[in-house]
Structure formats: structure tokens, C-alpha cells
């Protein structure tokens, strides 16, 4: 519809010999009483035409066709907006579109099969996933689902950090608990991981090997056993959230395959590095970042995290992705530019990379903040959160706010069974519609294959029809912005209009033809609610 209105306006401007430098902006109005669509095109022209915008708007409207099959009326509002009201037939036509393929309504071919990689979570396997990891997990998965709906060929990848200092600390933490179980009395280093899971792994090693490794703190069994235990736990948690990955990429592989050495050599060849203070530095200032950065600490013979991140992203380019999307937490805000600078130095097209940064999560219980610390184990695990409020609530709450906004996760609201809980509100709408159709079945009301949609004429019905027609636009916009909260905002609006329709319009009445039309409208609404909920990974319920 937006395209149709743009064409009308372009033709009108052509008649007036007015040329535009940019595409005419046509968008949905914020309030339906002001029309269905609006344009500010008259406001963009005054400097060129030296006339008041309101007069330009009048000329444009006068140049439009006197009649149109999809426009009922056009209004001009100060200071020069042109508002379009759709005909009832145009509004009603959305039902025919939905019923052509209801389960896929909203999908588009914008991606045209382009190969896209979405990397998310990528948490070190040093402890269970926390609430903070949960936001990234759900955000990344929803972005992948949005891209799926826009016909991209999406691959989900988890970058498995199985090398470096944190993994050594994990092994030493397990060794300490191993000795403790064997009766040794040693103070626990405050840098060590102290969660219950460490004790469980250590106990298993004692059960299997006794005191065989009591004098061998560097033995790989401590790190490997803990890593395996933790990563299996991570996978199970993600499975509970209906999140899967197509690929797991091990950081260790970058060393084993010689990728780290290869990148260091290439950077040296192009004079992008230098040696200083027992380290190899990247000339970041030469490639657009504020400071030079250490890539390799020669003293301890170890890379800083930027070097393997650069090497890892090189593999993404080598694997031929058309688009690379990285979902990171706010702690990466100051570091990912260094990685992009390294890739630029190596002559990779970093415009293919889109970085999505999400802010932190504050979990509140009874108005009090719940503190989180992976090492001290004074945290709420993602598993515990799922167990307390359920998969659907966890997923929805994590994406109902913009990723750039700090998220307060209110446990009391999450467990409320009332309209103030957005998940309850949406699932109640899907369940209510199912209930209506169950009632119709009990009354032996057979659904018509060809309902008379022209009978849908009330304000509540028009509002619902108009909102249904918006779903395609929302999905396409999200495919560009990668902002799942636009889906949740839309779903709340759609559910609100449905509940108003249900309250004001008797769906099943003595008027059989009107009943058929309203049943079809309700069912179409459920299709769209369920489709939208699928994108955010939430179930539409048949019963509450």
C-alpha cells in the first residue's frame, strides 16, 4: 500500500513539474483517526518552491486522481501533512491475503537467499549461563528468526572460547576442590570459580581416579572435565529456550590450524604491528581507533583476546558470508572497534559486519536487585530463571525492550497472571480466539469458505483489519533494523485491538453471515499473533 501511494504522489508531482531528490516518505499514522497513511512531502519542498507547505499540499492533492480503488478520502492537516484514508474494501482485502497462506503470512524475499551468519552467546564455558547471557541468547536467536522470515540463508554460530587464562583458572579451581575433597586444607584463591558445579566435577574425578592427580595441578583432566561439564550444561539451558546452533567454532582451532601465527605474520608484513615492552602491538591509531593495542604478550607467550577475535572473523570472511552479524554484551563496546580495525588492516570489507550491542540486565525480586557474579557463584542462573517464570516469559521479556536500553527484569511482573503481564496478555488473546471457535463448533456453526467481509464495518473491525495489514511491513523493517522489540510492540497493539473488538462486537450472534465474517476475522488475527510469537520464540496457546 505504501508503494501504491508513493506512485500516486510521484505522478501528481510530475503533473506539477516538481522533481524530488529522495524517495517520497509515506508512513502509517500514529492515530487512525488522522488517516491510515500520511506523507510529509509538501513539507520537504518549500525552500525550492517558495510557497507555504499547506498550499503545496493543496496543489498535490488537486493533482491526484479524483477517484481511486483503494483511497476513500484525502485530508490535509497543518502545517502540510497529507493523510490518506483507505476504503473499507482495501482494509477487508487483507483477510484474503492472510488466508492464501496463513502460516507464512508476513514472510518476504528481501534476503533473496543471501548467506548470513549470526554469532551470539559465545560465553566462556567456565560456569552456567546467567541472566545476562540469557538476554544475548534470546536476542541473537530472535534476530536469526527475523532474518529467516526475510528469506536469508541463516547460520547460527557459537564461538567456543576454550583457550586462554580463564580456562586455566577453571582447571585450577577444579584442582583446588579436588584436593579439598581429598582432605587437604588450602585457602581458596579469590580469583577461582567457586560455584557448586566445580565441586561436582571435582567429586567425579575423585570417584574415578582417587588421589592420582594430587600433585599435578596442570593436568588437563581438570580443565577438560570442567569444560565438558559446563558446556553440556550450557547446551541444555539453551535447548530449554528452544535455541540451537548450526556451528560451534573452537578458539583452540585457531592455534592448532596456525591461524593465529598467520594473522600475526600478515600484520607484520604490512607494518600494522610493532614490538615494544615485551609485546607485539597493533597500530590501531593508523586504522581509525583511539589507541594502539597489545596483540601478543611475549613474556607469557600468550595472545590477548583481540588477536584470536581478529583471526576468528577472518574465517568468517573466508567462509563466504554475505552478511556477518555479531551480538555482543555492553562489555564489548570498547573492544569490537579494535577487531574491525584489524580486519580493515587486512583489507577485509568490514561493511559486511553488523554489530548489535545489548545493555545489561538487572534482575529484581521483591523490588530488590539480585546480584550476579560468576566466580563468587552469587548469581541467578538462566536455568533457575526459566524454572521460575517459564521459557515463554524469559524469551519475551528479554526482547521487549530495545537492546540499547538497560533491562529491568521484574520477577513479580513475570509471574503475574493478568493483563499487566505482556506475555499473559498475548497468550490470552490466542487462547480466547481458540475458545470462540470451540464454542462455534459446539453450536454446530460451520466455518464458511467464502465469508462476506464487507459486513465488517465497525470501528473496532476496521482498526483490527488495518493492524493486521501492518504485519508484513513490521517483519520487513525488523529485517533491516534487527530490532525484535518492534515485533513485540506490534503484537501488543494487535492484541489490544482484538480485545477491544471482542468486547464491542458480538462474534457469534443470530446473524449467521456476520458471525461467519467475524469468526474469519478472529481466526486471521490468531494466525498473525501466532506468527509474530514464533519470531520471538513464544508459543500461542489454545487454552490458558
Grid coordinates standing for 100?
492464501
At residue 285, the pLDDT reads 95
How far apart are alpha carbons 189 and 173 in whole angstroms? Answer: 8
Is the four-CA dihedral 193, 199, 201, 202 of positive or negative sign? positive
Helix (H) or strand (E) holding 283: none
CA atoms within 13 A on the CB side of 116: 27
At residue 372, the pLDDT reads 53
Grid coordinates standing for 359?
545493555
Residue with cell 524454572: 387
Torsion angles phi and psi, residue 45, rounded to 5: -110, -15
At residue 20, the pLDDT reads 82
Helix (H) or strand (E) holding 180: helix 165-181
Residues 356 and 139 sit within 8 Å (Cβ to Cβ): yes
Q: Where are the domains of the chain?
A: 2-86, 92-110+418-535
User: Where does residue 300 rank: exposed (0-12), middle (13-18), buried (19+ CB within 10 A)?
Assistant: exposed
Helices (H), 319-450: 336-345, 382-389, 391-399, 411-414, 422-442
pTM of the model: 0.93
Residues 137 and 239 sit within 8 Å (Cβ to Cβ): no
Residues contacting 521, CB < 8 A, separation 6+: 95, 453, 456, 461, 464, 465, 501
Residues contacting 373, CB < 8 A, separation 6+: 379
Q: 41: which DSSP letter?
A: G
Helix (H) or strand (E) holding 332: none
Cα distances (Å, whole numbers) of residue 290 to 274, 275, 284, 479: 17, 19, 7, 32
Counted residue by residue, the chain has a size of 544
Residue with cell 492484541: 495
At residue 375, the pLDDT reads 45
How far apart are alpha carbons 445 and 441 in whole angstroms? Answer: 6
How far apart are alpha carbons 270 and 511 in whole angstroms? Answer: 80
How far apart are alpha carbons 201 and 222 in whole angstroms? Answer: 8
Residues 370 and 408 sit within 8 Å (Cβ to Cβ): no
Query: CATH 2.40.420.20: does it fit domain 92-110+418-535?
Result: no
Residue with cell 513539507: 43
- Candidates 168, 232, 179, 218; CA nearest to 202 is 179
How far apart are alpha carbons 39 and 1 in whole angstroms? Answer: 13
CATH class held by domain 2-86: alpha beta
The tens place of each residue's pLDDT in the chain, 544 residues long, gives 899 999 999 999 999 998 887 889 999 998 888 999 999 999 988 777 888 999 999 999 999 998 788 999 999 999 999 999 999 999 999 999 999 999 999 999 999 999 999 999 999 898 899 898 999 999 999 999 999 999 999 999 999 887 778 888 999 999 999 999 999 987 788 889 888 899 999 999 999 999 999 999 999 999 999 999 999 999 999 999 999 999 999 998 999 999 999 999 999 999 999 999 999 999 999 999 999 999 999 877 889 889 999 999 999 999 999 999 999 999 888 889 999 999 999 999 999 999 999 999 998 877 788 765 544 555 688 999 999 999 999 999 999 999 999 999 999 999 999 999 999 999 999 999 999 999 999 999 988 889 999 999 999 999 999 999 999 999 999 999 999 999 999 999 999 999 999 999 999 999 999 999 999 999 999 999 999 999 999 999 999 8
Amino acid at each position: 500500500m505504501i508503494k501504491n501511494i508513493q506512485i500516486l504522489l510521484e505522478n501528481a508531482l510530475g503533473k506539477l513539474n516538481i522533481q524530488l531528490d529522495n524517495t517520497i516518505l509515506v508512513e502509517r499514522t500514529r492515530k487512525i483517526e488522522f488517516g491510515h497513511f500520511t506523507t510529509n512531502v509538501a513539507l520537504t519542498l518549500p525552500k525550492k518552491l517558495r510557497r507555504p507547505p499547506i498550499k503545496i499540499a493543496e496543489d498535490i492533492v488537486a493533482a491526484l486522481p479524483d477517484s481511486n480503488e483503494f483511497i476513500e478520502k484525502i485530508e490535509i492537516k497543518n502545517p502540510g501533512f497529507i493523510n490518506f484514508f483507505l476504503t473499507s474494501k482495501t482494509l477487508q482485502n487483507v483477510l484474503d491475503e492472510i488466508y492464501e497462506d496463513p502460516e507464512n503470512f508476513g514472510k518476504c524475499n528481501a534476503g533473496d537467499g543471501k548467506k548470513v551468519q549470526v554469532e551470539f552467546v559465545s560465553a566462556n564455558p567456565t560456569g552456567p549461563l546467567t541472566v545476562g547471557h540469557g538476554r544475548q541468547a534470546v536476542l541473537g536467536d530472535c534476530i536469526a528468526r527475523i532474518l529467516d522470515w526475510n528469506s536469508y540463508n541463516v547460520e547460527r554460530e557459537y564461538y567456543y572460547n576454550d583457550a586462554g587464562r580463564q580456562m586455566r583458572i577453571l582447571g585450577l579451581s577444579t584442582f583446588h576442590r579436588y584436593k579439598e575433597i581429598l582432605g587437604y586444607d588450602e585457602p581458596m584463591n579469590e580469583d577461582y570459580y567457586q560455584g557448586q558445579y566445580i565441586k561436582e566435577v571435582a567429586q567425579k574425578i575423585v570417584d574415578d581416579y582417587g588421589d592420582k592427580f594430587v600433585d599435578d595441578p596442570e593436568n588437563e583432566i581438570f580443565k577438560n572435565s570442567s569444560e565438558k561439564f559446563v558446556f553440556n550444561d550450557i547446551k541444555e539451558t539453551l535447548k530449554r529456550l528452544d535455541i540451537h546452533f548450526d556451528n560451534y567454532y573452537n578458539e583452540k582451532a585457531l592455534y592448532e590450524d596456525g591461524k593465529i601465527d598467520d594473522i600475526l605474520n600478515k600484520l607484520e608484513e604490512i607494518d600494522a604491528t610493532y614490538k615494544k615492552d615485551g609485546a607485539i602491538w597493533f597500530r590501531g591509531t593508523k586504522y581509525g581507533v583511539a589507541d594502539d593495542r597489545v596483540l601478543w604478550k611475549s613474556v607469557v607467550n600468550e595472545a590477548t583476546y583481540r588477536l584470536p577475535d581478529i583471526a576468528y572473523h577472518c574465517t568468517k570472511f573466508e567462509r563466504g558470508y554475505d552478511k556477518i552479524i555479531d551480538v555482543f554484551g555492553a562489555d564489548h563496546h570498547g573492544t569490537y572497534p579494535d577487531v574491525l580495525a584489524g580486519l580493515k588492516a587486512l583489507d577485509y570489507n568490514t561493511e559486511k559486519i553488523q554489530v548489535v550491542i545489548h545493555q545489561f540486565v538487572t534482575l529484581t525480586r521483591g523490588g530488590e536487585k539480585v546480584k550476579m557474579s560468576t566466580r563468587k557463584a552469587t548469581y541467578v542462573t538462566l536455568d533457575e530463571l526459566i524454572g521460575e517464570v517459564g521459557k515463554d516469559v524469559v524469551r519475551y521479556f528479554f526482547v521487549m525492550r530495545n537492546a540499547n536500553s538497560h533491562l529491568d527484569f521484574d520477577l513479580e511482573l513475570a509471574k503475574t497472571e493478568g493483563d499487566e503481564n505482556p506475555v499473559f496478555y498475548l497468550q490470552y488473546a490466542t487462547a480466547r480466539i481458540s475458545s470462540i471457535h470451540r464454542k462455534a463448533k459446539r453450536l454446530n456453526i460451520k466455518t464458511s469458505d467464502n465469508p462476506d467481509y464487507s459486513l465488517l464495518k465497525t470501528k473496532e473491525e476496521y482498526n483490527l483489519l488495518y493492524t493486521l495489514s501492518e504485519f508484513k511491513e513490521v517483519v520487513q523493517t525488523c529485517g533491516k533494523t534487527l530490532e525484535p522489540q518492534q515485533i513485540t510492540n506490534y503484537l501488543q497493539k494487535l492484541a489490544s485491538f482484538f480485545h477491544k473488538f471482542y468486547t464491542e462486537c458480538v462474534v457469534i450472534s443470530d446473524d449467521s453471515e456476520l458471525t461467519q465474517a467475524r469468526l474469519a476475522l478472529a481466526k486471521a488475527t490468531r494466525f498473525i499473533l501466532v506468527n509474530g510469537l514464533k519470531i520471538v520464540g513464544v508459543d500461542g496457546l489454545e487454552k490458558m
